[in-house]
A = this chain, B = another copy of it.
Amino acid sequence: MQLILETLINNHGFETSQIKTDAESLAHWGKDWTKHFAPAPSVIVFPKSTEQVQSVVKLANEYGIVITPSGGRTGLSAGAVASHGEIVLSLDKMNKIGEFFPADRMVEIEAGVITEQLQQFAEDKGLYYPVDFASAGSSQIGGNIGTNAGGIKVIRYGMTRNWVLGLTVVTGKGDILQLNRGMIKNATGYDLRHLFIGAEGTLGIVTKAQIKLERAPQDLTVMVFGMDKFEHVMHVLSAFQSQIDLTAFEFFDDVAIEKLMATGHVQEPFEARTKYYALLEFEAPYEPIMDKAMAMFEQCMENGWIVDGVMSQNLSQAAELWKLREYISETISVFTPYKNDVSVLISYVPEFIRDIESVVNSNYPDFEICWFGHIGDGNLHLNILKPENLSKDEFFKKCQSVNDLVFATVQKYGGSVSAEHGVGMTKKPYLNYTRSESEIEYLKALKQVFDPNAIMNRGKIFDV
């Protein structure tokens, strides 16, 4: 390792400030938001250019050392955890926003740019970067691309994948590739860009991206509904979607609301609690859209689907209503939730939820379940809350056995064991619940093509 670091300094222009080996740094950059694996990297390097990334990759190949690419480390699947003496390659110093192309509504950025920084840049240009989620203030674009990040606006704007017009990558073999170079239309052979998106740094390292921006949404309006039956949530989704382009359709249950209200930070939306809640958002720059929404709301009330509802009258009311959904994650974190991020076809969601609840309740009757998620995308966050009288270790052990039951149900519905959090290390044992053995063989063969020595984030997604 010492030899590698000396070579980086002597031959590749690394300054000593671009290399850290102190214990505090190793602990800090060696882990993400998961807590299951102890960080134990050998060194943290902070390249400043694609060429410096390439030199690290080439040396890692030469000396057979594994690289863990590292962004904002907000991941929830231990995709960026380095626990086996790896070189952590942090993109922290590659955080420049480059050229902006107004006619293309496209901007070139380095992979270490923080998601929020890109959102802000877009806003300054009168435009919009629509991928948004709780960790946007810390997560980096490179990590977003590595996990094909989703979030709360997917129903309208799609995943990160939709906004990546081009990538610069260093493959596991050490080649620099410029993929798609910002074009909208380019039908010249396999689109390698899409292979790197969602690859969790196991094929190579994304160093730069060309990102498409969008027209900024106008007059966003939020409605929140209380409902008694889950089927009604789905009816309301279909009804509104047939008339209005939704920018969000989020869902949470009474457990989430109960914990949230106990904090005293958010106002109770309705006089009486209901079992389920939905938050929907849409652009309403024209009066008739508001009228349509009101008419649809009244019709859903008449049909008995909605028990109570509220609509924002201005942006600050909209922001207030969003807190009902946004504060949930933080609120339930004190209950040491065991989180699963799953998805199924939207059509299967009601049955799927029923099955999961029945499976968990019959096996672990003392476990409380809190549901929330992006129901307009078929994406549910299943949170099992720790009973007070159970130790953390005991609880997590039991949850591991719940996992098999939950993922068997996911498999029954042809769903995904990780909708938007990636596989990393935490979902690795369950990959075969979503991908067939035959598919996994192909994944491994692709890894072999780009990273024959398996130096790129080894041990993530699958074992080579």
| Beta-carbon contact of A187 and B198 below 8 Å | yes
B residues within 8 A CB of A53? Answer: none
Contact present for B450 and A442 (CB under 8 Å): yes
User: Does A294 lie at the interface of the complex (its beta carbon under 8 Å from any beta carbon of B)?
Assistant: no
By a CB distance below 8 angstroms, the chain B residues around A374 are 185
Task: Please tell me if the beta carbons of B103 and A183 are within 8 angstroms of each other in the complex.
Answer: no
A275 within 8 A of B: no
- A245 in contact (CB, < 8 A): yes
A266 at the interface (CB under 8 A from B): no
A1 is an interface residue with CB less than 8 A from chain B: no
Looking at A106, A182, A422, A450, the one whose CB has the most chain B CB atoms below 10 A away is A182
Which listed residue, B183, B378, B461, touches A183 by the CB 8 Å rule? Answer: B378
As for how many copies of this chain the complex holds, the number is 2
When C-beta atoms are compared, the residue in chain B nearest to A413 turns out to be B181
- CB < 8 Å neighbour of A443 from B185, B190, B242: B190
> Which residues of A in the span 282-324 have a Cβ within 8 Å of any Cβ on B?
285-286, 288-289
Question: Are A103 and B191 neighbours in the complex by a CB distance under 8 Å?
Answer: no
Shortest distance from the beta carbon of A104 to any chain B beta carbon, whole Å: 5
Report whether B379 and A420 are in contact in the complex, using a CB–CB cutoff of 8 Å.
no
Q: Are the CB atoms of A159 and B188 closer together than 8 Å?
A: no
Quick one: which of B181, B285, B443 contacts A189, CB cutoff 8 A? B443
> Once the chains are docked, how many angstroms separate the CA of A184 from the CA of B374?
11
Measured CA separation A103–B434 after assembly (Å):
22
Interface string of A406-449 (1 = CB under 8 A from B): 00000000111111111100010001001110111011011001
**Contact between B195 and A419, CB atoms less than 8 A apart:** no
Instruction: Please tell me if the beta carbons of B438 and A187 are within 8 angstroms of each other in the complex.
Output: no
Evaluate whether A431 and B234 lie within 8 angstroms (CB atoms) in the complex, with A102-B347, A183-B345, A194-B195 already known. Answer: no
Give the interface centre of A105, A158, A189, A462 by most chain B CB atoms within 10 Å. A189
Task: Evaluate contact between B436 and A188: CB separation under 8 angstroms.
Answer: no
Q: Once the chains are docked, how many angstroms separate the CA of A197 from the CA of B150?
A: 21
In the assembled complex, A147 has its CB within 8 A of some CB on chain B: yes
Residue in chain B with minimal CB distance to A148: B187
Q: Provide the bound-state CA to CA distance between A438 and B126, in Å.
A: 38
Residues A185 and B103 in contact, CB atoms below 8 Å apart: no
Which residues from chain B contact A185 at a C-beta distance below 8 Å?
150, 154, 159, 343, 374, 377-379, 416, 419-420
Q: How far is the CB of A197 from chain B (nearest CB, A)?
A: 7
CB distance from A430 to the nearest CB of B (A): 9
Contact surface of A with B, Cβ cutoff 8 Å: 101-106, 126, 147-148, 150, 154, 158-159, 161-162, 171, 175-179, 181-192, 194-195, 197-199, 203, 215, 234, 237-238, 241-242, 245, 285-286, 288-289, 343-347, 349, 374, 377-379, 414-423, 427, 431, 434-436, 438-440, 442-443, 445-446, 449-450, 461-462
